[in-house]
Chain A
Amino acid sequence: MEWGIQSVVSKASFAGETMEKRFFFEKYGVNERDLERYLGAALSAGGDYADLYFEYVTSTGLSVDESMVKSASQGISAGCGVRVVTGERTGYAYTDDLAPEKILRAARTAALIASGPAKTPVVSMKEPTHPNLYPVTDAAADAELSKKVELVFRADKAARAYDSRVQEVRAGYADELRRILVIGSDGTFAEDVQPLSRLSVFVIARDGKSSAKGSSGGGGRHRFDIFLTEKTPEHFAEEAARQAILQLNAVPCPAGEMEVVLGPGWPGVLLHEAIGHGLEADFNRKKTSAFSGLMGKRVASDKCTVVDNGTLNERRGSVNVDDEGNVTNNTVLIEKGILKGYMADKLSARLMGLPNTGNGRRESYEHIPMPRMTNTYMLSGDDLPEDIIKSVKRGLYAVNFAGGQVDITNGKFVFAASEAYLIEDGKVTAPVKDATLIGNGPDVLTRVSMVGNDLMLDEGIGTCGKDGQSVPVGVGIPTLKIDRMTVGGTGSAE
């Protein structure tokens, strides 16, 4: 798969004027005067800024397990969060009851953060045009349930058909439709309808002597049809089964420092952990990031250019507007190895005098927004992937990962390889067992000596956790060679 990197901000549309427009106004009787009252209450004790975040989410989930759809679930969640910001302080309260008196009470609670004369909000009902990155109608959530059931059965069948050693198969399908309305005391007005769907497959293979697992999945902000054409159940099922069968014969992973080649796509979780979090503006405002004070300095080899791009069509990490009502951007974080930009939300942009990059995101109306990644990836370089492998005498070729974690302050990060191979004399040889790779964020990219011409983004399965809040994200890299990294296996390095 090839993913072009294009900005689609110019593709403004009037999706907002269609049937989805004014959802909260119609369903909950919200009106302009109420909104003014709520924001007025929020700023009744002063404060620099206040906003209201209305959210209404419907979700569906079902899975096949032992070739049965054992259960299915659907849910509705609705609520409103009120935020008041004064200086560096934030007051927050929410309600899952959208009755006017409940929202007013939340506004008065949030107002407790400030102590000063009341301010009058500027309420605008004029929505600026925003991009239209994903389908509002025909989203996956609208498809008939029977079609969703069909997907997981197909995945089950395909995984079992792949190899008789595939003994356990679980396949899950989940979608949601999230409607948001953000009203800010600075005139912010944004509405969006955000579809999201995902298909995932988990497989266990067994032979006479060992067991192994494999998993795969993907999705995004698509029409349902994507699962019938590109991201088919068979595609994910066969991929999960392939990994599990491969792992049956994996050898212990070597331990110690060695050359590491990362395959394209999902191994981009390296960027997410090693540098992504460290470049979120909040940590840098507080100077608690290992990247604090490195703006304009070299943090990667000159082959590395890294962006965070929330404007890619239908990607899992993309949104038309962030959860503060700002349009998302294609933000350059590292250009030819030099640190160029942070990812900012309203609060950090204002306090740090930075551009607001549209990275203010939150898990739900119960949460305070903060700077978060969208789709974070490295641009393609000039090297051929096969040349990169050939250049390694002895090392590790890691193509699939199970996720990672980072300590923002000291910069140490890990990511766990779930599919990796030894490289011996320029050739990919034996598959190795799961192992964690560990490195130091501010210098791991300085050891990138080759960058492939094969950028891929992941298939749409990533969820990022920060301070207890989960948001969907995307990652990607071309094939990369890192000259030295610590690999945490149990085998001998020699």
Chain B
Amino acid sequence: MATTGIQVELDLRELVQGAVKRAMQLGANAAESVVSEGSEFGTSVRLGEVETLKESGSRGMGVRVFVGKHTANTTTSDLSPEGVEQLVRGAIELAKITSEDPMAGIPEADQLGQIDGDLGLYHDDVYSLSNEERIEQARRAEKAAMAVDARLTNSDGGTFDASIGRKVLANSHGFVGEYRSSYCSISAVPIASDEQGNMQRDYWYSVARTLKRLESPEEVGRIAAERTLRRLGARKIKTQKVPLVFDRQTSVALLDHIFDSVNGDAIYRHASFLAGKLGEKIFGANVTVMDDGTIPGGFGTRPFDSEGVPTRRTTVIENGELKSYMLNTYTAKKLNLQTTGNASRGLAGTPGIGNGNFYLQPGEKSQEEIIKGVKQGLLVTEFLGFGVNLVTGDFSRGASGIWIENGELTYPVEEITVAGNLREMFSNLSEIGSDLIWRGSIACPTLRIEGMTIAGE
């Protein structure tokens, strides 16, 4: 595999440092280079038979140069000396056509650095299984799902995936840093049919940085089956306003919209309804949101951000008051603030803004207790579509879920939309669950929200 061997590691560090040096020789006054390499394995099993088997490795490199106040960036998958020379020269050449931007630049030297010690991001066990064992994981997940109930008659399969990656970053202040990461995941997607032949599909998955923390294929399959079966016989309901309970799958999507709304890029362009609201009470007093890029083993953890700034823990919203935006060097300068270490980039383009481990502080009640407290309402379990306008905060998405009657879950509901405005929604959180569980780099407990509109019949 591409990522084994000390020699190869040294090469990549030299490669990015060499590109930076070359850019400076060619007239840049600042430069940054990144290289990433990765290997991926994926298999899917459908109805007991292997459907796909995919395995590969890839590498790519990007360089960003500043010539005066002009910026440009280039990428390539050709890491030969000629390829790198072309990459750097191309960027220098390209910078001639861009405008002068007084805010352009890499971080100051004293802002650079990284968190020391093992952050638990890389476990080579994700790549330790043989092909047969990997296929078996996928097969077991699907089999466990299909075994739950006779109404599970078809399947979109079970999967097992694993990937490892390495990223090396260097810039002209002499920063060089690197980290490795690993992922593995199992999923199952069973399909159920009712007596009329109407089909429903749902899924479940487990993802982890090490095989040791992956849920068993049987557990993944069982949950996938339960989630699918509970959708059978879904109906439409009337257009109405009732309390909505968002489970963790949907509440996390709502919190994701909040991340997009505090993204410094959207803020300085006034493209967010939270622009200019720093220090103001924006949400209910029960809302506290944190971003922490330092949690060991976290899906959003990194030792440094994509500009070489150490990651950190930032209070974003405290008791409803907007405390901090999420910023990289450029957006911080635009807003006359300091970077929060949230620069994020792939190989191409200028750095954007990415979250660390971004979460809403949990409350006291379990999801069951929250549902118990609802006389008539809807547990929202899935969104369909992307109907969010961050400029206004207006929210309208397709949804499905389960109707709540006198605190009990009753029949499934589909083909409806739920609509509101994000600012009002997060001001009307009447309950926040205790169930904060990390299944990605954003996590949110169960939420109950008042005043939203269901559109149906």
List the interface of chain A (C-beta within 8 A of B).
61-62, 65, 68-79, 88-96, 106, 109, 112-113, 145-146, 149, 167-168, 170, 204, 206, 210-213, 253, 255-257, 286-288, 290, 366, 368, 402-410, 412-416, 433-436, 438-440, 486-490, 493
Chain B residues closer than 8 Å to A90, beta-carbon distance: 51-53
Contact call B387/A488, Cβ cutoff below 8 A:
yes
Given the contacts A211-B392, A256-B456, A288-B154, A72 and B72 also touching, CB distance less than 8 Å: yes
Chain A residues closer than 8 Å to B256, beta-carbon distance: none
Given the contacts A71-B98, A75-B74, A414-B387, A366 and B397 also touching, CB distance less than 8 Å: no
Contact call B55/A436, Cβ cutoff below 8 A:
no
Instruction: Tell me, in angstroms, the Cα distance from A409 to B189 when the chains sit together.
Output: 11
A-B contact pairs, 8 of them (CB 8 A): A74-B90, A76-B77, A76-B86, A113-B53, A204-B269, A253-B396, A436-B387, A436-B398
**Which residues of B, 49-108, contact A by the 8 Å Cβ criterion?**
49-60, 71-78, 83, 86, 90-91, 94-95, 97-101, 104
List the interface of chain B (C-beta within 8 A of A).
46, 49-60, 71-78, 83, 86, 90-91, 94-95, 97-101, 104, 131, 154, 156, 191, 198-201, 231, 234, 236, 239, 269-271, 273, 347-350, 384-387, 389, 391-392, 394, 396-398, 400, 414-421, 452-457
Contact call A486/B77, Cβ cutoff below 8 A:
no
Shortest distance from the beta carbon of A437 to any chain B beta carbon, whole Å: 8
Instruction: Tell me, in angstroms, the Cα distance from A76 to B75 when the chains sit together.
Output: 6
Contact call B191/A368, Cβ cutoff below 8 A:
no
Instruction: Tell me, in angstroms, the Cα distance from A70 to B268 when the chains sit together.
Output: 15
Given the contacts A368-B54, A490-B453, A286 and B156 also touching, CB distance less than 8 Å: yes
Instruction: Tell me, in angstroms, the Cα distance from A97 to B224 when the chains sit together.
Output: 39
Shortest distance from the beta carbon of A109 to any chain B beta carbon, whole Å: 5
Chain A residues closer than 8 Å to B154, beta-carbon distance: 286-288
Top 8 A-B residue pairs of the complex, sorted by shortest distance between their CB atoms: A488-B417, A414-B385, A414-B398, A255-B455, A409-B201, A436-B387, A68-B99, A256-B239
Contact call A403/B51, Cβ cutoff below 8 A:
no
Which among A72, A92, A168, A439 is the interface contact of B54 at CB below 8 angstroms? A92
Contact call B419/A71, Cβ cutoff below 8 A:
no
Given the contacts A288-B154, A288-B199, A68 and B100 also touching, CB distance less than 8 Å: yes
Shortest distance from the beta carbon of A240 to any chain B beta carbon, whole Å: 13
Shortest distance from the beta carbon of A236 to any chain B beta carbon, whole Å: 18
Contact call A78/B387, Cβ cutoff below 8 A:
no
Contact call B199/A70, Cβ cutoff below 8 A:
no
Instruction: Tell me, in angstroms, the Cα distance from A451 to B243 when the chains sit together.
Output: 40
Chain A residues closer than 8 Å to B348, beta-carbon distance: 61, 73, 75
Chain B residues closer than 8 Å to A65, beta-carbon distance: 269
Contact call A488/B78, Cβ cutoff below 8 A:
no
Instruction: Tell me, in angstroms, the Cα distance from A76 to B419 when the chains sit together.
Output: 43
Residue ID in chain B nearest A440 by CB atoms: B415
Instruction: Tell me, in angstroms, the Cα distance from A408 to B189 when the chains sit together.
Output: 13
Chain B residues closer than 8 Å to A405, beta-carbon distance: 384-386, 398
Chain B residues closer than 8 Å to A368, beta-carbon distance: 52, 54
Query: Told that A286-B46, A407-B384, A488-B397 touch, could you supply 15 new A-B pairs with CB distance under 8 A?
Result: A70-B101, A73-B73, A170-B269, A253-B396, A255-B454, A287-B154, A366-B56, A409-B201, A416-B385, A416-B386, A438-B417, A488-B416, A488-B417, A488-B453, A490-B420
- Listed residue (A62, A287, A436) with the most chain B CB atoms within 10 angstroms of its CB: A436
Shortest distance from the beta carbon of A401 to any chain B beta carbon, whole Å: 10
Chain B residues closer than 8 Å to A402, beta-carbon distance: 386-387
Chain B residues closer than 8 Å to A257, beta-carbon distance: 239, 456-457
Which among A70, A146, A170 is the interface contact of B71 at CB below 8 angstroms? A70
Given the contacts A112-B53, A413-B384, A256 and B455 also touching, CB distance less than 8 Å: yes
Chain A residues closer than 8 Å to B86, beta-carbon distance: 76
Instruction: Tell me, in angstroms, the Cα distance from A168 to B86 when the chains sit together.
Output: 35
